[in-house]
Every structure is written in C-alpha cells, then in structure tokens.
Amino acid sequence: MLSSGFFSKERIVAPEGYNRWRVPPASIAIHLCIGSVYAWSIFNPALVRLRGVVASSSQDWTLSQVVWVFTVAIVFLGFSAAIAGKWLERVGPRTVGIVAGVLWGGGMILGAVAIWLHQLWLLYLGYGVLGGCGLGLGYVSPVSTLIRWFPDRRGMAAGLAIMGFGGGAILATPVQELLMRRFARTPTYLGTIDSVSLSTVEGKRFADINSTSANPSATNSATGGSTRVEIVAITQSEASQLGPGMSPGIYVVGTGSVGAAETFMVLGSFYLIVIVFASMLYRIPAVGWKPAGWDPGRLSQASVNKSKTSLISANHVDADQALKTPQFYLLWIMLCFNVTAGIGVLGVAKTMMTEIFGTALPSIVTSTFAATFVLMTSVFNMIGRFFWASVSDAIGRRNTYFIFFGAGALLYCSIPWIAWQVSESATWIWLAAFYAVSMLIFTMYGGGFATIPAYLADLFGTQNVGAIHGRLLTAWSVAGVLGPVAITALREKSLHDAIAKLSNQIPSEQFQSAFGAPLSELPLLVKNKTVTIAKLLELVPPGTQDPTPTLYNTTMFLMAMLLVAALLANSAVKPVHQKHHMES
C-alpha cells in the first residue's frame, strides 16, 4: 500500500538540521503542472474540429460540449480538495502527491485515447473526473506542506504554491500550441467551392469525387464510379485565421489532424513523471519543530495588535462549528460568484478573443495572438494573487473584496460596450481596451483565491483555517459549473439569434443555391455547422454589421450582476459571535 513502507508518512520526517528551503521547489513544480488546467481554452478550437480540422464538421463536438470537460475537472478539483485534507494528515504529502500525479497525468493520457477514438464520455472521465481529482489532491498537498515548514511566513508559503497554480498556464500555453502545430496534418483539399460538385443531405455537405481518390471519410458509394464524402468549406477570412498557406475552399472530413491527441499524450506523460518525482522529494518537519528564533505566541499576538480591520479575531473556531456561522456562507457566496465570473471567461478565453476580434482585425488577431492572450491571462492571474493579497494586509480583507466586486462589475459591463464599438469601427484601440480590461479582471480573479485564506483566518482564527478553507473550496466546484454553463448557454442563444437575423436578409433562392437546402432547414444546417455567421456574411447585403463581436454581451452583463450580489454579501460580513469560539 502507498501509505506504508517507503511511502509512509514516518519515512519522510526530515532529520535535524534539514534545510526547509529544499521543499518549495517540489511544491511549486507540482502546482505548475496542475495549474496547466487554466490553459484549457487552448484546446477548445481544436476539439471542436477534430474531424473537420480546418472547420467544424457535423461529426464534431460543439463548444458547449468541450467546455464541460473543463467544468467537470474543476468540480472534481474542488470536492476532492475538500475531502483530501484529513487523508493528507493521515498518510502524508508524498502519498497524496504520487496519487495526484497518477490521476492528473493518467487522466490526460486517457483523454488522448478518448480523442483518438472520438469518444466524448471518455474525455470527461479521463481529463474531467480522474484528472480533476488529481488536481484537487495536487492542490492541497503543496500548500499544507509549505505552511508546516514556514509557520512564521504562512502568507509567503501559501503564496508560493498558489502562485504556481495560477502561473501553470504560462508554461502550458506555448507548449500546447507548439505541440499541436507539430502534430497537425492538413486534410485533403478538393479545390475551390465553384470547382467541386456539392450536395446537401440532412443538413450535411457532401462532395462526389472520383473513386480512385476514395478515402476513409467516404460515407457511401454512388453510381458512375464516384465516392461521396463529407466535406467542410471555409471562406477566405476563415482560411486567413488558420495561418499562411491555407486556401479557401473544400476539404475532406476525417483526412487530417489537429494534433490534440498527441499533445494530450505527451503532456500527460510529462506531468505524471514530474509530479511523482517532485512528490518523492517531500519532507515534513518533526513534531514540535519550529524555525529558530520563532515565538508563535508573541508573533501571533503582534499580528492581531497591528491589524487594521475589526474583523480579525484572536480566538479560534472549530471547522465543524464554522459551518454553523453566517460568515462561512457569506464568504462561500463571495468566492463562488467571483470565481464564476472569472472561470467562465477562462474556459473560453481563446475562443472569445478570436470571435470578438478575429473577423474585425484578422491581420492582428491570429491563432497565435489568441494563444498569447490566454498566456497573459495566466500571467495576470498569478500577479493578482501576490499583489492583492499584499494589498489586503494594508487595507483589510473586506475593503479588498469591495474593490474586487465594485470595480469588477464595472469592468465586465465595459466589455459589451467595447464589442459594440468593434462592430462599428474595427480599430486596434478597442483591442487594447479589451486586453487591459481582461487583464484587470484576471488579477482580481487570482486575488480572490489568494486573499480568501487570510479572510478566513481573520474571522475564524488560524488554528483550523486549513480545514475550513478546504470546505470553502466547494464554492470553486459550484462555480466551475455555473461559469462555463452560463457563458456557453448565453453565447449559444446569441449565436442562433444572430444567424436567424442574418438568414432573413438573404433571398430564399440565393440561400438554396449557397447551401443546397431551403431556409426552412436552417436549424438542421446550423446543427451540422453547414451554416455559420462567416458564410452568411458573404451573402447578406453590403454594409451588414457582423454580430460575432457581440455574442458574449449578455454573458458579461450576467457576470456583473453576480459581482454586485457578492458585494452585498461582503457588506454583510461581521465578526464571528463569541458563542462559536473554542475554549482556551
């Protein structure tokens, strides 16, 4: 068993004189690996065109389906982190870390198999369930271990690990992009739209090609020595977004690769090895150990005396008793709504950047530019964790969260305004404004994670803050569902409304000629990705406004409303009643 013998907790007790600074590198390495989950949106564009490669085909998954994989991973992260606390205390961080590596790395490897087989449920199981549990176990073990070694610098210790998690996507983003480009293969090109004989059957587009060119995507053989294959058609603007060398026209479904499966396999194997190796380096201090010259009683009282907030308490509250206080649930709501607003955007960051600016500024907002945007969200997420936690020491936790929610609501409301301006006048100024607003939002998203443990310690004391924090992380799980569901559902509604509006501007004969089916079959054509906004824009009257930049407007207003609700919850936080305090 992992909890006995070489892997037992007793085997990793550090000898006298052990240098505690040897522990942080292992903890940071683990959090950098699991923090790569924040780069999930890099995979979204590839996963929604696994079969079509250059565009989504009828056989491909939708954005709402693949975003749910990220959602499931976050749900299992939160719940496994909440449950793992007591197990961690019993078996030690080495065992928990090794299991985390096997689950996270193994989950990605299983995800690679799922992509190869094109089985969405298996991707949910691998990356979402197993990988999510690995994330939760990997999240709690470094934080707990570092706090044991640095009781005199708890904030710094937790900050080191949590910053690692926030910065994981900084390393993962360019690596994922590089690997997918390395393994990608362009599908078979048949020619321009005018040069290929096309037909539409049940909303799907097909081409009849010579039987000597038959390929694995053939759906049925037709008479006259030809083979019918499903195809995707891309416009000039879509081709330019895919990169130089791509031609507009017809491509055969199922004949290329986006390189996602191979990328999952490589990264999963790497993460498994690194996390297991780092876990083997874990050591824990002996019972009664404390840093030289550190007096916990004197420093604890000094921190209370120097505090600038009336919410801080010198008393302690038991973890079970904390669940009986209104303060716990007010903070739960605050964390949940703050994370809901941020995580929904994180899950579709690359797609959102491409959709808002890709058609308006195609020469600037390329796939590489959008990937860099994802990387920068991770950079500012990480910076915010350190910056806002430090600010909260000076101005108090509640005031810090007032800034998060008040300023955050205004920032979210500004995004629809920017999108409207892009629709009217596509200039780099609005791109810069969107970039700046997004980065500020992500500093507050990361700051919310880093500041909440200190807020809990102020209210409930430091003795049981770890257990209370673990239970509060269930808010992360709930937010992991609410954020992606809200952003994808509202985007989907906006998308269908926009397509319907554009389609009504096209004469029925022209629509029939372009898509091989009447306007009455629009829902089926949309479902099978035959009709898209980009294709409709080539048919509508000149001067028609592109609705793509405004697809996320409703979502942004909803996120602002959530932050207003969180602001009200924060204003209701009061000191914990003395009846909940533990006896001295």
Rounded (10°) angle between helices 326-347 and 474-503: 40
Cα gap 84→82, rounded to integer Å: 6
In total, the chain counts a number of residues equal to 584
The percentage of the chain sitting over the pLDDT mark of 90, rounded to a whole number, equals 31
Strand partners, 189: 251
Strand, coil or helix: what is 13?
strand
- pLDDT-derived band at 552, boundaries 50, 70, 90: confident
* Per-residue pLDDT tens over the stretch 257-275: 999 999 999 999 999 999 9
pLDDT attached to residue 329: 95
Chain centroid to CA 280: how far?
A: 28
Strand, coil or helix: what is 232?
strand
Residues in Cβ contact with 221 at an 8 Å cutoff, skipping those fewer than 6 apart: 211, 227, 228
The closest of 238, 66, 200 to 525, measured between CA atoms, is: 200
Average pLDDT over residues 381-388: 84
pLDDT attached to residue 85: 66
Kindly state the tokens that stand for 269.
């194997």
Whether residue 565 has pLDDT greater than 80: yes
Quickly tell me which residue has 């550090």 as its tokens. Answer: 14
Q: How far is CA 482 from CA 193, 339, 342, in A?
A: 41, 9, 11
Domains in the chain with CATH codes: 19-185+258-286 (1.20.1250.20), 189-252 (no CATH), 312-481+549-584 (1.20.1250.20), 498-548 (no CATH)
- pLDDT-derived band at 500, boundaries 50, 70, 90: very high
Kindly state the tokens that stand for 372.
């860099």
In the DSSP assignment, the letter for residue 309 is -
* Per-residue pLDDT tens over the stretch 431-460: 889 889 989 998 998 888 878 877 887 888
In the DSSP assignment, the letter for residue 425 is -
Average pLDDT over residues 127-150: 85
Q: How far is CA 552 from CA 46, 69, 80, 486, 548, in A?
A: 20, 20, 32, 10, 9
Q: What is the mean pLDDT of the chain?
A: 84
